[in-house]
Amino acid sequence: MCRKKGRYCGAEKIIAVRLGRTRQALERNLFAYVEQLATGSEASGKGLAAFEMRSIGKIDKALAGLKDYVTLLSRSQAAYMKALSGLLNDEASYTTLDESLPLVKAAAERLRDS
């Protein structure tokens, strides 16, 4: 060993320089991998956020369609009940049945569109 005042000489100096270069290269590679990982993670997060927004939009649209369908169906059912009540009380009201049919058709169309 030929250390003089904390310095290397000869073969030790060559090895130390090579190890230093190797360590620096490994550090650069590690840093590049960390950057790739961070970039990939960020892109993945953005993709998942976009997917979530699309999914929520589809769910909201389907729920709105279902709400409209149930509302129309309830109105139709109420109209049928009113007409049936009229028929049972000998106060036949066929106009109530006529009002109910368009509601049923609208409900069926809304369900088909959802």
Q: Note down the domain range covering 90.
A: 11-113
**Tokens, residue 35:** 């950057």
Considering the domain boundaries, does residue 2 fall inside one?
no
- Specify the range with the lowest mean pLDDT, choosing from 10-14, 19-23, 50-54, 75-79: 10-14
**Contact between 35 and 43 (Cβ < 8 Å):** no
Considering the domain boundaries, does residue 6 fall inside one?
no
- Residue 73: pLDDT band with limits 50, 70, 90: confident
In angstroms, the CA 47 to CA 49 distance is: 5
Considering the domain boundaries, does residue 27 fall inside one?
yes
Q: What is the pLDDT of residues 26-53, one digit of tens each?
A: 888 899 999 999 999 999 999 999 999 9
**Tokens, residue 87:** 């028929």
Considering the domain boundaries, does residue 80 fall inside one?
yes
Domains of the chain: total: 1
Whether the model pTM is above 0.85: no
